[in-house]
């Protein structure tokens, strides 16, 4: 009878320890990712500010009077401050231009015939992506190069110290665009 109670006690203690660890992990995730929905909404504001600043080219800015220049300076300062606040809370912008297309980070909008870039790489970024911690908050909207040189293939690892590999199979790139 004592052995039975001891076994039950050990099981309850183990369950309590597992519950404590799971609760700590959930609290840490809530702290890190709890602002995801709010941050995603704020990204629309950041995008609007960026589009507003890009709408005026350098020539128009130079010809603008002092009050318009002051307004533009204020908008630029506000945009920089917005990005600082986002970064303070773990939201980081990423611009994947020239990187290999990754469906976990990028959303392909279309393909571009670009012989200067390897096929399957990001040739143009329409909208930068954002991460919160290690999670993608919003994928980058990109155009992918096609028709350029094939990306350099990495040589297969050989664990047989120079012995030829038998039955080595190559896998087609799942990101290959027809």
pLDDT in tens, 36-79: 888 989 999 999 888 888 888 888 888 888 888 888 889 899 99
In the structure encoding, which two tokens stand for residue 9, read together? 């006690």
Say whether pLDDT at 32 is over 50: yes
Lowest mean pLDDT among 62-71, 125-134, 142-151: 142-151
**Would you identify the CATH topology of the domain 91-149?**
Nucleotide Exchange Factor Grpe; Chain A, domain 2 (2.30.22)
DSSP string covering the chain: -HHHHHHHHHHHHHHHHHHHHHHHHHHHHHHHHTTHHHHHHHHHHHHHHHHHHHTS-HHHHHHS-HHHHHHHHHHHHHHHHHHHHHHHTTEEEE--TTSBP-TTTEEEEEEEE-TTS-TTBEEEEEE-EEEETTEEEEPEEEEEEESSPPPPPPPPP-TTTTPPPSS------TT---
Burial 99-122 (b: 16+ CB within 10 A, else e): eebeeebbebeebbebeebbbbbb
Cα–Cα distance, 22 to 84 (Å, whole number): 32
In the structure encoding, which two tokens stand for residue 135, read together? 């999670």
What predicted TM-score, i.e. pTM, was given to this entire model? 0.65
CA distances from 1 to 4, 5, 6, 8, 10 (A): 5, 6, 9, 11, 14
Q: How confident is the model at residue 97 (pLDDT cuts 50, 70, 90)?
A: very high
Count other C-beta atoms under 10 Å from residue 61's C-beta. 12
């Amino acid at each position: 009878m004592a052995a039975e109670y001891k076994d039950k006690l050990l099981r309850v203690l183990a369950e309590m320890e597992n519950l404590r660890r799971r609760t700590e992990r959930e609290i840490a995730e809530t702290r890190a990712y709890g602002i995801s929905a709010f941050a995603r909404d704020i990204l629309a504001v950041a995008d609007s500010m960026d589009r507003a600043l890009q709408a005026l080219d350098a020539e128009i800015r130079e010809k603008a009077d002092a009050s318009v220049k002051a307004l533009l300076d204020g908008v630029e300062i506000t945009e920089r401050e917005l990005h600082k606040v986002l970064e303070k809370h773990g939201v980081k912008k990423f611009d994947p231009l020239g990187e290999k297309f990754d469906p976990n980070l990028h959303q392909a909008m279309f393909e571009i015939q670009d012989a200067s870039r390897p096929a399957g790489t990001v040739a143009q970024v329409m909208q930068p992506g954002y991460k919160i911690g290690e999670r993608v908050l919003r994928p980058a909207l990109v155009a992918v190069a096609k028709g350029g040189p094939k990306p350099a293939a990495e040589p297969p690892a050989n664990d047989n110290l120079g012995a030829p590999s038998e039955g080595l199979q190559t896998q087609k790139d799942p990101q290959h665009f027809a």
